[in-house]
């Protein structure tokens, strides 16, 4: 793995966060309840944080360090589990689909992101 992969994933997360944020602010505002829209926006916000995290990691970190590689993997997987489960849960009523099975996935994704940040902290210390 090299820094370019980390930067590419961060950039992809960033692009998608902007697209989904605009989609939520314009298209979903008309079809989702305020509560569901707020939840959707949490997913976008945390995806944005992860995009920035990965960009900083890719530009400045030594990926030869195990803790840095783990930070990349955990934040990437955690973001996918956290944000994308929130997106689907927020859209469940509109899509007329039950995504209740994703309920436990959201906190697992959050936990992975926290551990990923912890790996960065450990590598800094």
pLDDT at residue number 1: 74
Q: Give the three-class secondary structure for 106.
A: helix
C-alpha angle 45/40/44, rounded to 5°?
25
Q: 54: Cβ–Cβ under 8 A, 6 or more apart, which residues?
A: 6, 7, 9, 10, 13, 72, 75, 76
pLDDT at residue number 61: 83
Q: Which residues of the chain have pLDDT under 70?
A: none
Q: Give the three-class secondary structure for 2.
A: coil
N-terminal to C-terminal alpha carbon distance within the chain: 23
Instruction: Quote the distance between the C-alpha of residue 94 and its chain's center.
Output: 22
Structure tokens at 122: 């450990």
Give the Cβ contact number of residue 26 at 10 Å: 9
Read off the DSSP letter of residue 86.
H
For the chain, what percentages of helix, strand and coil (3-state, to nearest 5) are there? 85, 0, 15
pLDDT at residue number 54: 97
What pTM value is reported for the model? Answer: 0.93
pLDDT at residue number 29: 87
pLDDT at residue number 72: 97
């Amino acid at each position: 793995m090299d820094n370019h992969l980390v930067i590419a994933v961060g950039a992809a997360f960033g692009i998608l966060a902007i697209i989904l944020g605009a989609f939520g602010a314009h298209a979903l505002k008309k079809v989702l309840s305020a509560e569901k829209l707020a939840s959707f926006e949490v997913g976008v916000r945390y995806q944005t944080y992860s995009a920035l995290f990965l960009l900083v990691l890719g530009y400045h970190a030594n990926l030869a360090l195990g803790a840095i590689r783990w930070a990349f993997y955990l934040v990437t997987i955690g973001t996918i589990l956290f944000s994308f489960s929130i997106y689907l849960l927020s859209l469940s009523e509109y899509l007329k689909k039950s995504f209740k099975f994703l309920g436990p996935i959201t906190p697992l994704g959050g936990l992975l992101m926290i551990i990923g940040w912890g790996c960065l902290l450990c590598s800094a210390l």
